[in-house]
Amino acid sequence: MNAKEKHTKSIKSEAKRLGFLSCGVSKAGFLEEEAPRLEKWLNNTMHGQMSYMENHFDKRLNPTLLVDGAKSVISLLLNYYPSEFQNEESYKISKYAYGQDYHFVIKEKLKELLHFIQTEIGDVSGRAFVDSAPVLDKAWAAKSGLGWIGKNTNLITQKVGSFYFIAELIVDLELEYDNPTTDHCGSCAACIDACPTEAIVAPYVVDGSKCISYFTIELKENIPTEMKGKFDDWVFGCDVCQDVCPWNRFSKPHSEPLFLATPELLSFTKKDWEEITSAVFKEVFKNTAVKRTKLEGLKRNVAFSKK
């Protein structure tokens, strides 16, 4: 076994020990296929008011501009599929927001993994990314064989589904590279048919400015009135295109204690959401991703979804 194989094997083994679902590696470089796709998506203003998507176009497509001397992108998946779900008589939030904010949970694991690499292998420079920098997570994960990008533009993995977070370490270390997998969406159009706001405008194309996740999290002003009655009780994010995906029948509950939902959240009724106070918001959502909407944003979403 040569050094590259040895290092790759030990990194993947450590990633597993840290609780990651899977780990794949690809060669850092310019994402040729994604460049025209991203440009077209931005030109068609499918990012709505997410103006940050227009920034750092070159860096989004080339990790060597983010990390000096970058040679490898180590992509990692972390399961968040819950074992317990919200009360059925409740407004809904995305499953990824049930527990503690994933940014902090995953960042800690990535720091540990980078520390392991530096301790085991030596002088390796790198940076950890969790959905917080101009990195095309799904493109890199697909390139490293962790799944394929489905018609709903989520990364999907056979026998696993898509309820997981994607993160990466970009390092200046040459490793053994994985090969992409094949697309297994076939003729299925479940996600396209089920999207409440028709945001999946074509297979593999989501108009972000029509997505319930965009309206309930990213949009800072009033939600357009033409969307009234289409939210299907979602008040933070939306899981419809994942819930209907046949591959998600293979989803298994995660084993990360920090992602467990609080009993208060699971027992919330519509009345609890409608009457939420600042104190309750702080108590129930203090360390979760839901904090992003702030109390006023959440109240706006609940009022908009209310029948």
The token duo for 103 is: 């940014």
Which among 58, 131, 178, 183 is annotated as catalytic? 131
The answer to whether the Cα torsion of 5, 124, 164, 142 is positive or negative is negative
| Residue 230 Cα distances to 47, 136, 159, 224, angstroms | 20, 29, 31, 11
Q: What are phi and psi of 127, to 5 degrees?
A: -135, 145
Q: What angle do CA 87, 291, 224 make, to 5 degrees?
A: 80
Contact 165/256 with Cβ under 8 angstroms? no
Q: What angle do CA 14, 16, 19 make, to 5 degrees?
A: 115
Q: What angle do CA 123, 129, 135 make, to 5 degrees?
A: 115
Cα separation, 215 vs 220, whole angstroms? 8
Cα separation, 107 vs 219, whole angstroms? 26
| 131 is a catalytic site residue | yes
Cα separation, 276 vs 272, whole angstroms? 6
Please give the positions annotated as active site: 131
